[in-house]
Amino acid sequence: MHQPFDVHRFTLAARTMTSSARKLKLLLWKNYVLQKRKPLVTFFEIGSVAFFAVLLLFIRQVRSPVQKQKTPTFRNIKEYKNGLA
């Protein structure tokens, strides 16, 4: 039997989606206002990330790469049984 279209359920889903989008927009606006009110903190947040990125790049350029030891290779076990080793 065919179910009739439930208008109330559709509008509830649409309202929930709109509500979520509205909450996200409000949260982004609040974050923007907080960042705008405290420019020194914003500069520190961005500057600290940039500083550590440059520091890591500098350390990588200055330090020479560590050479790994060659991994040992083993002969086939059949060679040992046949006395070829």
**What are the residue boundaries of the structural domains of the chain, listed by start?**
8-62
Rounded CA gap, 44 and 50, in Å? Answer: 10
Question: Could you tell me which residues come within 8 angstroms of residue 75 by beta carbon, excluding any fewer than 6 positions away?
Answer: 85
pLDDT band at 11; cut points 50, 70, 90: low
pLDDT in tens, 29-81: 999 999 999 999 999 999 999 999 999 999 999 987 777 777 777 767 777 67
27, 33, 41, 44, 58 from 54: Cα distances, Å: 31, 29, 20, 15, 6
pLDDT in tens, 26-39: 999 999 999 999 99
Which one-letter DSSP state was computed for residue 67?
P
- Residue 85 pLDDT > 60, yes or no? no
